[in-house]
């Protein structure tokens, strides 16, 4: 998606060999117009996939997921990184290791927000090693629902996530695919 690639080139900040900071338009300050276009593009890509719900993991995937779910006309479910005290229902949980933060967390889904008839589109901001997406897929499969696909804003094609997920039969759609970071610059 050229609009997203241009925004990354203009405002993204490469940190080291494998981190891209996009907090000025995706996850700290959110560019609403960009998110609306991202949601429209995601929905167009997955319009014939039979999506019944959009799932995302808090918090960076929320903004693009809202617009994707709105365009598809389906509910949005936000997977939690911890079990909130106010969540007074049975849950599905799985452990996920965060590549960026080098920590692990219990990804949590309330059982009443998924059924075995759901066909779920997962939306996330980044795809690197595929750990977060794999965790979401485990939760979906625990509930005997199916995965319509994974839509990511930015994939680091030099890391194994895309290949790992596609080898499991998951359709992955990346709006911006980064080949490398060279001399502090993004190469698509």
pLDDT tens digit sequence for 102-153:
789 999 999 999 999 999 999 999 999 999 999 999 999 999 999 999 999 9
**Interval 4-59: pLDDT, tens:** 999 999 999 999 888 999 999 999 999 999 999 999 999 999 999 999 999 999 98
Annotated binding site, which residues? 20, 27, 128-132, 156
Topology of 35-177 in CATH? Rossmann fold (3.40.50)
Residue 24 preceded by cis peptide, ω within 30 = no
* pLDDT at residue 99 greater than cutoff 80: no
Q: Collapse the DSSP code of 151 into the 3-class scheme (helix H, G, I; strand E, B; otherwise coil) and give the result.
A: strand
Flag whether the pTM goes above 0.85. Answer: yes
Annotated binding site for 5-phospho-alpha-D-ribose 1-diphosphate, which residues? 128-132
Measure the CA–CA gap between 173 and 170, rounded to whole angstroms.
10
Annotated binding site for xanthine, which residues? 20, 27, 156
Distances (CA, A) of 71 to 22, 66, 95, 99, 152: 24, 9, 31, 30, 16
Nearest in space to 109 (alpha carbons), one of 120, 125, 98, 97: 120
Could you tell me whether strands 146-156 and 119-127 are parallel, antiparallel, or unpaired per DSSP bridges? parallel
List the domain boundaries for the chain: 35-177
């Amino acid at each position: 998606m050229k609009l997203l690639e241009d925004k990354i080139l203009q405002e993204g900040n490469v940190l080291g060999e494998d981190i891209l900071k996009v907090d000025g338009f995706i996850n700290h300050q959110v560019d609403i117009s960009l998110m609306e276009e991202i949601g429209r593009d995601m929905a167009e890509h997955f319009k014939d996939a039979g999506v019944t719900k959009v799932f995302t993991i808090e918090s960076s995937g929320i903004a693009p997921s809202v617009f994707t779910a709105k365009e598809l006309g389906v509910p949005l479910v936000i997977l939690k990184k911890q079990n909130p005290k106010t969540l007074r229902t049975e849950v599905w949980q799985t452990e996920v290791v965060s590549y960026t933060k080098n920590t692990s967390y219990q990804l949590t889904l309330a059982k009443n927000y998924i059924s075995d008839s759901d066909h779920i589109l997962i939306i996330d901001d980044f795809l690197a090693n595929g750990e977060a997406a794999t965790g979401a897929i485990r939760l979906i499969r625990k509930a005997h629902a199916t995965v319509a696909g994974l839509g990511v804003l930015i994939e680091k094609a030099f890391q194994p996530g895309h290949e790992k997920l596609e080898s499991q039969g998951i359709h992955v759609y990346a709006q911006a695919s980064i080949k490398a970071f060279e001399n502090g610059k993004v190469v698509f």
